[in-house]
Structure 1
Amino acid sequence: MTQSEQKIATSPSSARERTRAPARARLARILERLNEGGSISVTDIAQEFGISDMTVRRDLAELERDGLLERVHGGAVGLKRGPLEVIDDAEPAFEARTRQNAERKARIAQAAARHVAGRKAIAFDLGTTVLAAANAIVEAGPDPQLRAFSNSLHVGMTMARAGIATYMSGGLIRAEEMSLTGKEAVDGFSRYYFDVVLLGASGMTAEGVFDYSPEEAAVKSVFLQRSAERVLLMDSSKFRRISTVLIATLSEISTLITDAPPPPDLATVLASAGVRVLVADPSHLPERSLE
């Protein structure tokens, strides 16, 4: 039994639940979801258990009273304990990342496709969430005049196969990511301007946005500098996480599209930096803005 489960089992409120297995299972599952990704939404839990939003909010209130989570708009986040978690310098394999938090990434991708509909020049960064967004744009039926720009071979093939005018740079192929990097890649994209860039990253703190590779960070910087709108696609498991390279301060990001509200401390600095936060709705209704 984990420490969180022990605390639930010994708390006064949990004593009332011991005779109600479904409620006890919900509480344990909520904590499990927080441990997996750092945040949960009321809608997700309601759909998973087939219960009302009001019942979920009562569960969250109970766990908050027991000191096991912190409620935020639309859901809850795990309590911040100790220093920020530092991600290992070794980047997880692309295929493994594709399977991680796949449902969250799909929701973010759908929201991103809606957000950039009608844009004529879109830069696509690297990463599994950006690739999911490229697929969502293709499935939605892109504007015939759309031009796609990317240093991701995965994205390039996805867009080109759909008949979209696709531009890529030269450069060294980084086999792990199937990405084009180096001076040739940077120089190649420095000639263009974009309506919007869809950006991926490995973590975010109040300091800014992080990723693993210094080589790829140089291309990200060009996309950021040359794009009218800079949209970060990031699932909530990456909040309060840092990695090898600081690729942008929060003020350099225009819009964050995510699957759950950021924790309060991060939400405050995002608002101060002027970042618009869009939370992808699991029912695929128009995403909620936290402005």
Structure 2
Amino acid sequence: MPPRPSAAPSREQRHRRILAALAGDPTVRISALATEFGVSAETVRRDIEALSRAGAVRRTYGGASVTHAAVQPVFQERERIAVAERARIGVAAAALVPDGAALMIDAGSTTAHLARALAARDFAGTVLTNSLAVAEACTAAAGIRILLCPGELYAAESAVYGAETQAFLARFNADLAFLGASGLTEEGISDVESRAAWVKRAMLARAARRVLLIDAGKFGMAHLERVAGLEALTELVTDAAPPPPIAAALAREKVQVILAPPSRG
């Protein structure tokens, strides 16, 4: 009996794979993606249009290309991309946190999933954050003490930044810092926003364990500002194994790679 053909990937899986393909190649073709996914060219065209509206890719004739190094979708749009993958990363990251710990949590869509996962397990401890979304998620758990950083509100990121934010963070010591980023290469972490990069550095400087949360679609992507080298990290939590060059660089710096388990069901 011939093997049953595998099911075509879901819309969310296709979006994730398109972003992953662009991480290794600056352009992708609709025809090639349609063949790979086992779907029609029109289906892939709609996928690319959706990702383009979110600012994750640029449409080209017959395909898509990466966005500019200094551009990324706003927070609310990023919340709709790779949702399942980021939720898995958030749950895996929350499993690293012992009750009573003091945490610094960066602003971002993946770190917001971490905050939701912490609240869901009734974490009891302290969270320092510059993210309104993280702070709001943490209010669901009565045992979380929330210290919200001062600073200038940047509505597009639902977060505060600036000199006051950095000075506030410098007053504290944390057991773990959880950061997001726009991209990760062998050279380190990069981000579109300079204001965000400075807050990330402030958190990295004040925590014993420094954990990057990033979905695999960002591997190989170098954005405008280099935040720090891989040596600044102790752990990486992601949804798929990094490509060999990045994996080798992480191993050289003794960064532990933690893969989020697949969703059940």
Query: Could you say which TM-score interval applies, normalised by the shorter chain?
Result: 0.7 to 0.9
Distance in 2 between residues matched to 1:125 and 1:249, nearest whole Å: 17
**Any gaps of 5 or more consecutive residues in structure 1?**
1-18, 40-59, 61-84, 285-291
Matched residue SS, 1:201 = coil
**Alignment partner, residue 108 of structure 2:** 127
Distance in 1 between residues matched to 2:191 and 2:156, nearest whole Å: 15
Q: Is the 8 A contact 1:124 1:151 kept in 2?
A: yes
Q: Does 1:109 align with 2:90?
A: yes
Distance in 2 between residues matched to 1:235 and 1:25, nearest whole Å: 21
Q: Does 1:187 align with 2:167?
A: yes
Tell me how large the CA RMSD over aligned residues is.
2.7
**Alignment partner, residue 5 of structure 2:** 22
Letter in 1 for 2:108: G
**Alignment partner, residue 128 of structure 2:** 149
TM alignment of 1:209-228, pairs within 5 A:
209-228=189-208
Matched residue SS, 2:79 = helix
**86-95 vs 219-228, which deviates more?**
86-95
Distance in 2 between residues matched to 1:162 and 1:110, nearest whole Å: 15
**Any gaps of 5 or more consecutive residues in structure 2?**
23-35, 37-65
Matched residue SS, 2:181 = coil
Closer, same or farther: CA 148–98 of 1 in aligned 2, 3 Å: same
Matched residue SS, 2:205 = helix
Distance in 2 between residues matched to 1:33 and 1:216, nearest whole Å: 24
Q: Does 1:196 align with 2:163?
A: no
Looking at CA atoms only, which structure, 1 or 2, has the larger radius of gyration? 1
Matched residue SS, 2:208 = strand
TM-score norm. by structure 2 comes to: 0.76
Identity across aligned pairs (percent)? 33
**Alignment partner, residue 10 of structure 1:** none
**Alignment partner, residue 18 of structure 2:** 35
Question: What's the offset of the Cα at 1:23?
Answer: 5.3
Q: Is the 8 A contact 2:123 2:141 kept in 1?
A: no
Number of corresponding residues: 219
Matched residue SS, 2:95 = helix
Closer, same or farther: CA 20–173 of 1 in aligned 2, 3 Å: same
Distance in 1 between residues matched to 2:118 and 2:82, nearest whole Å: 20
